[in-house]
Structure 1
């Protein structure tokens, strides 16, 4: 099966600093890729290039074989790539339903677009649609951000540290929700997170970045056993 998302030789330089250095990988529809590495390894910069907020210095991003890079964040969303952020970005006085309708906006005809109740059910937010986002728990707010991203009908979903601040039960519920998104919507999902107890059981494959370059790629089991990964990252835990 050909990859839905193909990343080819992505490079990002900021002045004399190379933040991402020749990163390549492919991801099929319905698959979950875990992206890990030490702080400063280039993970968030890579997500920024995929999401259109950073233009690559070199390389390209293909979605269904068509270029999907260097067009800006708005164009990336219209192409079918949506993301969440490390920090919560919600209007606290708005209800989740109002936020979903705003996020849906011009994407109403997009394949895979979910209704309010469908999005809430998929992410375990039943009964919370008409509550102000500021009144939701921290864990529910992070799930709400994913719901807003899904309102655009993405084919690729980028999640930047979605499990920050969650306890084991909350992180488990999040992992189940992400897996439902991948399986039921056939979305390709990339998850950046430092919580290995959350990420390793969730991911189909894991890519490890170090100093902006790919150190290793494999199944979670292969990554856990990789001596270079243990030395550079997992050994820190």
Structure 2
């Protein structure tokens, strides 16, 4: 069986600088890829390429055998790629339920959870009818993930989802992401600096440095990789 998501030698240049430099990997449905590396290593730019925000300078991203790169963010959502951002992006005056109903319109026939099930999954019970601006910072981050899942994605891209969360909140988030991957067969790419959150969650970890892939393997292999320890994990 072929991979759900294939990233093939993707390069993204800004002027003369290669923010992403020849990155390749594959991702199966239901699996979680952790994407780590120092600040400025190209992780967020790579997410932008996957999400359609950035058109690759060269290389391709294919989803279920069809080219998904270079077509814009809106078409990427229609194709089944949803993304959250490091900074909170919500309609503050809208209730979460109103936002979810709008997001459901992007499903294009794909499977998605109901509002109540999403709220239960992400610990947002009782908050569906509150304005998003009234939610705590952690709840707003969870609400962004709920909105992304409401589109019925095949691939979910999470940019620093656990930032600002305490240990218990991050653990609950990891459980929710794993359930989404398992129960909806969603492939997940997670960028996060919180190794206590990310390493138990990820099936595979890809380490970037200076725009390129430094290492790829299981969490155990990455923890033991001397080059990764020297360039990144040793800084923690």
Fold match by TM threshold 0.5: yes
Given the alignment of the two structures, is residue 65 of structure 1 paired with residue 65 of structure 2, yes or no?
Answer: yes
- 4+ runs of 1 displaced by more than 6 Å? none
Q: CA deviation at 1:7?
A: 0.5
Matched residues in 2 for 1:216 and 1:197: separation? 19
- Structure 1: 5+ residue runs without aligned partners? none
Q: Secondary structure at the match of 2:6?
A: strand
Which of 125-134 and 69-78 deviates more? 125-134
**Cα deviation, residue 67, structure 1:** 0.5
- How far is 1:101 from its partner? 1.1
Contact persistence 1:110–1:152 (CA under 8 A): no
State the alpha-carbon separation in 2 of the partners of residues 24 and 7 from structure 1: 5
Residue aligning to 2:28: 28
Query: What is the CA-CA distance between 1:135 and the residue it aligns to?
Result: 1.5
1:149 corresponds in structure 2 to 148
- The secondary structure found in structure 1 opposite 2:105 is helix
Q: 2:123 maps to which residue?
A: 124
Aligned partners of 1:17, 1:112: CA distance in 2, in Å?
40
Q: Distance in 1 between matches of 2:109 and 2:145?
A: 17
Give unpaired runs (5+ residues) of structure 2.
Answer: none
Asked if structure 2 preserves the Cα contact closer than 8 Å seen for 1:7 and 1:23, the reply is yes
1:84 partnered with 2:91: no
Shift of 1:122: 2.1
Work out the CA distance in 1 between the residues paired with 2:176 and 2:139.
Answer: 12
Q: Distance in 2 between matches of 1:78 and 1:91?
A: 21
Deviates more, 1:114-123 or 1:28-37: 114-123
Deviation at 1:106, TM superposition (A): 4.3
RMSD, matched Cα: 0.9
Q: Is the 8 A contact 2:31 2:203 kept in 1?
A: yes
Task: Describe the SS at the equivalent of 1:62.
Answer: strand
Partner of 1:159: 158
CA pair 146-40 structure 1, distance change in 2 beyond 3 A: same
Retained in 2: the 8 A contact 1:32–1:188?
Answer: yes
Whether 2:98 is the aligned partner of 1:98: answer yes
Deviations 1:162-216 (A, max 9, x none): 0010110110111011011100110000000000010000000000000000000
